[in-house]
Amino acid sequence: METITKTKLPEKEVKQEFKKETTVKIQGSEAVVRSLIEEGADLIFGYPGGAIMPVYDEFYKVQDKIHHVLTRHEQGAIHAAQGFARSSGKVGVVIATSGPGATNLITGIADAQIDSTPLVCITGQVGSNLLGSDAFQETDVVSISTPVTKWNYQVTKASEIPAVIAKAFYIAKSGRPGPVLIDITKDAQFEEFDFSYKKCEKIRSYHPVPKMDPEKVKEAADMINKAKKPFVVFGQGVVLAQAEKEFKDFIEKADIPAASTLLGLSALPTDHNLNMGMVGMHGHYAPNVLTNECDVLIAIGMRFDDRVTGSLDTYAKQAKIIHFDIDPAEIDKNVKTDIAVLGTVKETLAELIPMIDKNKNQKWHQEFHDLRKIEYDRIIHPQTKPTQEKLTMGEVIAAVNEQTNGDAILVSDVGQNQMMTSRYGKFNTTKSKITSGGLGTMGFGLPAAMGAKLGRPDREVVAFIGDGGFQMTIQELGTIMQTKIPVKIVVLNNEFLGMVRQWQELFFDRRYASTVMTNPDFVKIVEGYGIKAQRVSKRENLKDAIADMIASEDAYFVEVIVEKEENVFPMIPSGASVSDVRLK
């Protein structure tokens, strides 16, 4: 992505970011709140503390304009902001105090950076006269966050606040999105100045969208038209660019089989005839195997993550590679491309489609269907329609699919629950799959689901969480109780850290070191927060429990006791070729 200078701009340059039209003399704390209102940020997640208290005092005065969600931990706040941003397409906003409040945001900021989620994070800081003195709750959050933010800035004068916040929103949402952080000293929050606000529309030397080269588009079209076995791998870039229609029009015209990355799920409806599933370590059999059989591999809005490629030494070596992406830094970073088409994929695909020949690739499609049948017979059918006594994760997800008609937003935590939800979830609508992809953050699921529901109150939101990840942010049940967020929660309880246990079974001779979980009574805990809950351990009770959950107008919790030593297959062992995908 474009490098944004993270050093502090001189006050004069900051002030010149906008022209003053009408001014009013106010404190910096009020300027923060007024600036957020100007940016349309009417929902904010956070946790108060001493260094940010002046801003919270201003929030108290504008409760009719800004709804503040008090989470139970700053990590819960930032994951909720991520879920909000991912479901709504807006910039998520989170606010915290200095020291531990700020450092508790770092995991979520790193998660947002690698998953291209637009966030504006505002932290309080000790007075500017105390900077560098190891004052109470002082932490150099600007230095700490520099590697995991798209841009950050420390405000020491109130007059800087409007232009810095305007820049922050522009940077967070432009080009390849990402998180920004603004650290505001306490004296800057009290200082008075003449306030005016103008949204940022450009920044000198920052070019978030590279200029499209029509010649590269034409070269790509020629290569695609000549291909005998073309294959598309698409990622979240399609969703971020709002290019779902252009993408579908392209693959339908060229009749190209397509498979998704983890974060690309829901950019194309699950049941679309050209959707071959998901690639990657626990992706579907056919697209993984046939990655090494295609003659042209077209990557659209994805970054060739190691979980997608497996061993780079053997990844698609027979194929010509075409890469469509907005971020020049991703080109040739992991996989050498033959043609790189830079720009937002909404524009580049629109340019490409008229040049593409209508095609039929029946023989090539048959290869996918043959391998898909093998996977269905050996894995999918036994998982979703099991005959053994114990419930499986796949059948739980299938039961939710059935009762939501594939129209719900499915949020998952990290681990086996994540892979099972991604493999067996049905996604009819874009922005329907929310999870922590690149960082793989356990504890993400519950707060992200809260944020997703607040971002899209018109849609059903169901969180699938493992018993391990649930306990990492279980305190956010208090946020659900206080804010009355009608989110639905399914805990898949196998009394293990399931994904780690699977690796221990397959690669460490079943030495289950520190992965057995002795769990509390989840139903009692959830009911203690005033949330309806039930436990399911028998198949005959599953359907009714899911029906009760979906029918509820309030938050609802279902704990499902599943097979303890169930594994997620297919699986590509770490460092192996995508062709070495295992079915058992």
**Residues whose CB is less than 8 angstroms from the CB of residue 518 and which lie 6 or more positions away in sequence, other chains included:** 495
Measured CA to CA, the distance from residue 221 to residue 348 in angstroms comes to 11
Measured CA to CA, the distance from residue 251 to residue 491 in angstroms comes to 37
Active-site residue (options: 137, 403, 475, 482): 137
Measured CA to CA, the distance from residue 372 to residue 383 in angstroms comes to 15
Known catalytic residue: 136? yes
Least Cα distance to 186 among 15, 70, 60, 57 occurs for 57
Known catalytic residue: 302? no
Least Cα distance to 517 among 465, 558, 481, 569 occurs for 465
What is the phi-psi region of residue 205: left when phi exceeds 0, alpha when psi lies from -120 to 50, beta otherwise?
A: left
What is the phi-psi region of residue 440: left when phi exceeds 0, alpha when psi lies from -120 to 50, beta otherwise?
A: left
Active-site residue (options: 150, 167, 173, 186): 186
Active-site residue (options: 39, 74, 138, 476): 74
Which residues pair with residue 321 across a beta bridge? Answer: 297
Judge contact between 180 and 149, C-beta under 8 A: yes
**Residues whose CB is less than 8 angstroms from the CB of residue 323 and which lie 6 or more positions away in sequence, other chains included:** 299, 330, 331, 335, 337, 339, 340, 341
- Which secondary structure element, helix H or strand E, spans residue 43, and what is its range? strand 43-46
The beta strand positions in 392-515, using DSSP E, are: 409-412, 433-434, 461-466, 488-493
Give the distance between the most distant pair of CA atoms in the chain.
Answer: 72
* 339-342 and 275-278 beta bridge pairing: unpaired
Three-state DSSP class for residue 216? helix
Known catalytic residue: 74? yes
Active-site residue (options: 499, 557, 566, 569): 499
State the helix-helix crossing angle for 161-173 and 28-38, rounded to 10 degrees: 30
Active-site residue (options: 11, 20, 61, 136): 136
Measured CA to CA, the distance from residue 323 to residue 284 in angstroms comes to 22
> Residue 472's CB: how many other CB atoms inside 10 A?
22
Known catalytic residue: 540? no
**CB hemisphere CA count around 174 (13 angstroms):** 19
Give catalytic residues, as residue numbers: 74, 136-137, 186, 499
